[in-house]
Amino acid sequence: MIEILNDAEVARGRETGALVARILQTMKERTQVGTNLLEIDAWTEAMIREAGAESCYVDYAPSFGRGPFGHYICTSVDDAVLHGLPHDYALRDGDLLSLDLAVSLGGVVADSAISFVVGGSATPQQSALIDATQRALDAGIAAAQPGGKVGDISAAIGAVLRGAGFPVNLQFGGHGVGSTMHQDPHVSNDGRPGRGYTLRPGLLLALEPWVMADTADLVTDADGWTLRSRTGCLTAHSEHTVAITADGPEILTLPR
């Protein structure tokens, strides 16, 4: 299903995006050495409830997970890159943490992810991974122009990731959002320009470049949810929800 939202729905998407950005920024500020992943999950639940919003994760049970997810935010550490299931783990100095959050407010979903290093300074490899996903996200957003194609976004993202020297996995990528979290069109993190669905005003897309340092292969953790790099290498993930407008892409999940 592909939804094209009207102006009022896009406006509600702005409110949802602002909430997602605020929660992620708060989690980043609160997170320090010794913070438990379950604390981050509890803080997130409290902020969602306080805002009168709904979690897109807690009851989520897709075919690729051992559902329902049962938590409010994805917390992926070091070699974990996607769908990190919060568990009893106290963060250590130098851990690379990715937080991924999707909520619904007023019937419209927004989805975003950030990666950062806990405690001290990032290593060169950590910085390179995070920087590559952020630059790829910027490139993908710039390519999300009305009248363009989904393939334009994929090609722009892939060019940055490959140019940074990282393998690109095509199993999981960006997606449409609207009244539900995961919709068509799928937005691969690499592709060919001029291919795929035509971008129209009112379309909301969650664009999410993610990389693993030395492999494109994933393995599923024993928890049935967390996806890790097959080699145990470091990973990073960045994501924004973007609205296609007549004037170009509008990022809904920027911190304000």
For the residues 5-18, what does the mean pLDDT come to? 98
For the residues 212-228, what does the mean pLDDT come to? 97
Instruction: Decide: 244 and 232 in contact? Cβ < 8 Å.
Output: no
Domain residue ranges in the chain: 7-251
pLDDT of residue 179: 98
pLDDT of residue 97: 98
Angle, alpha carbons 155-75-255 (nearest 5°): 65
pLDDT digits 0-9 by tens, 69-108: 999 999 999 999 999 999 999 999 999 999 999 999 999 9
Question: Taking 90 as the threshold, does the pLDDT of residue 67 lie above it?
Answer: no
Question: Taking 90 as the threshold, does the pLDDT of residue 205 lie above it?
Answer: yes
Angle between helices 124-142 and 150-163 (to 10 degrees): 160
Q: Which CATH superfamily is domain 7-251 in?
A: Creatinase/methionine aminopeptidase superfamily (3.90.230.10)
- Among 113, 150, 161, which residue's Cα sits nearest to residue 244? 150
Secondary structure string (H, E, C) spanning the chain? CCCCCCHHHHHHHHHHHHHHHHHHHHHHHHCCCCCEHHHHHHHHHHHHHHCCCEECCCCCCCCCCCCCCCCCCEEEECCEEECCCCCCCECCCCCEEEEEEEEEECCEEEEEEEEEECCCCCCHHHHHHHHHHHHHHHHHHHCCCCCCEHHHHHHHHHHHHHHCCCCCCCCCCEEEECCCCCEEEEECCCCCCCCCCECCCCCEEEECCEEECCCCCEEECCCCCCEEECCCCCEEECEEEEEEECCEEEECCCCC
pLDDT digits 0-9 by tens, 99-144: 999 999 999 999 999 999 999 899 999 999 999 999 999 999 999 9
pLDDT band at 65 (very low <50, low <70, confident <90, very high): confident
Question: Taking 90 as the threshold, does the pLDDT of residue 216 lie above it?
Answer: yes
